[in-house]
Structure 1
């Protein structure tokens, strides 16, 4: 059991001081230099211009990191917590936050260990430690019941939380998540191809995003922040291990699982079948014409699907949905 220290939420001011401390700590993610960090944060702020809803920026102090959180939406209602994918940040949620925050308070978390405004101080390797960190964040925000939504690595974080610390998780939505299969060569090849594509002048390849099914390439602000993060941030954590059959069977939290039917990370139909076979309360679906980013590739459909799921969960009605 990890001992948690007292939490607090403050306006975003403490990241700069924590940055200097993090550089002297082994096993934590950090930028290659202060100049690199400043360049990245300028690109991050530029990408945040894609968000279309007013927001408040908070730093939540935990035992592991100064965790940066963006909040938008009403004061009342059931809160949603967004967990982004590996190598990304909360900037990725720009197609989703306006619709979701029209119905729920929304908190987008910059995960420590990824390039963003969070600053890591202690290693976060083990699944139990990841759960302890997120518990501290939720404590600091004063949240007792939340709906987790995670994409890719963020999906693994959400799934991991429902296994190790489920008491305050009302539902979990997993968007082409880690945690069902070992990350393989197919996924890394896809990452390399898309990384190289991001370096090409858009004017020379206007249809590249549709050919690669990667709409990130259509948003220069987002693309620049991702590429800068990849070049200047040292990630210090292993790829998440897939959950065993026994572990998946132990997940009792109502779960919405959306898998791209052309996912480079998961074998779509087998992963859906495994979830349906093992998880007691899962609504699993293959999203048509989708690779690894359902929330960006088909935001309107995914937003509506999530809101329907949350409404059904609140009413105690969770029909299974498949294609």
Structure 2
């Protein structure tokens, strides 16, 4: 998702590009690059085995800690630009397109259960030379982050879980909608992407209409792999194993949940807190499924306050 830049800057940018008769895809690329640059990030890629992995990293490295950002189902690395803007001055930020997502490789037969994705992420971070980090994840990425902390405790300084997947003790309207055969998280036709944004977020970011159209096209183009990934997570039957696994976490964990989350009920946050020794839970009023997009400043502040004793000073 795009971060909210000052309206005048976005308006002027789009006006100039529209006058110059740029295509919608040119507008999209220019706007995405503008957002990344404003967040102090640039795009890069790396080959890991048979996979091509796209990611964002600091334009200018510093002496601060590393933060790895793990997006949710059907999302991508650019979901983190609003939060990254609050952090790149003092941290080295990496936002990774997981396999099956964004601009990374999308093999249908890779294996996309949460534990599979933990393995994929571990290999990616090893290839990037990252072995000591703070890790943040949203939704599916939150579940991956929790399992990563349980599996590789020596690598994690702190873990931040934004509305994480993995436990559904409390259900909400999302479950009944999916059981009825309609999944708002998987756009398949025009209009579905805006519906997804309305469903997932209470405080939607500003997205100019030409950009929204291209984002929808990209989401629909990923229909088949999205179905495979969602089915792998849904059918894994992992909940009891997942709970047992996260009980092994010894690293400091901060759970941030939007109270208006219609995808995964915020009451599951208390279940996570009870399962993870010493975990801290923060509920954000008026926020939906993506606090790092909807409330980036508040999310960054909560992380900085929580992690302060474990943050190396940037120079």
- Same fold by TM-score, threshold 0.5 exceeded? yes
TM-score range, shorter chain: 0.7 to 0.9
Deviations 1:231-256 (A, max 9, x none): 11122322264354322311222111
Shift, 1:68, TM fit:
0.8
Aligned position for 2:15:
none
Gaps of 5+ in 1: 1-38, 203-207, 316-323
Counterpart check, 1:258 vs 2:256: yes
Shift, 1:273, TM fit:
2.3
Give the TM-score normalised by structure 2: 0.73
Distance in 2, matches of 1:211 and 1:267, equals: 12
Mark the CA change 1:268 to 1:74 in structure 2 (over 3 Å): closer, same or farther. Answer: same
Shift, 1:145, TM fit:
0.3
Aligned position for 1:239:
233
Which residue among 287, 306, 310 is the counterpart of 1:309? 306
Deviations 1:108-163 (A, max 9, x none): 1011112x111145603344432221111111111120111111111122112112
Deviations 1:266-287 (A, max 9, x none): 3323x23222322113111111
Decide which moves more: 301-310 or 45-54. 45-54
Mapping of residues 73-92 of structure 1, within 5 Å: 73-92=60-79
Gaps of 5+ in 2: 1-23
Shift, 1:213, TM fit:
1.7
**Contact 2:200/2:263 (8 A) holds in 1:** no
Counterpart check, 1:102 vs 2:94: no
Aligned position for 2:51:
65
Shift, 1:103, TM fit:
1.4
- How many aligned positions are there? 270
**Partner secondary structure for residue 124 of structure 1:** coil
Aligned position for 1:296:
293
Mapping of residues 155-234 of structure 1, within 5 Å: 155-181=142-168, 186-187=173-174, 189=177, 192=184, 199=191, 213-216=202-205, 218-220=207-209, 223-233=212-222, 234=224
Mapping of residues 15-54 of structure 1, within 5 Å: 43=28, 46-51=31-36, 52-54=38-40
**Contact 1:46/1:221 (8 A) holds in 2:** no
Mark the CA change 1:228 to 1:166 in structure 2 (over 3 Å): closer, same or farther. Answer: farther
**Contact 1:48/1:91 (8 A) holds in 2:** no
**Contact 1:77/1:103 (8 A) holds in 2:** yes
**Contact 2:69/2:135 (8 A) holds in 1:** yes
Deviations 1:180-232 (A, max 9, x none): 227967226496399699839x9xxxxx9699724146454663344223211
Distance in 2, matches of 1:155 and 1:212, equals: 16
**Partner secondary structure for residue 96 of structure 1:** helix
Distance in 2, matches of 1:165 and 1:293, equals: 25
Distance in 2, matches of 1:143 and 1:44, equals: 28
**Partner secondary structure for residue 308 of structure 1:** helix
Mark the CA change 1:220 to 1:153 in structure 2 (over 3 Å): closer, same or farther. Answer: farther
Question: Once superposed, what is the RMSD of the aligned Cα atoms?
Answer: 3.5
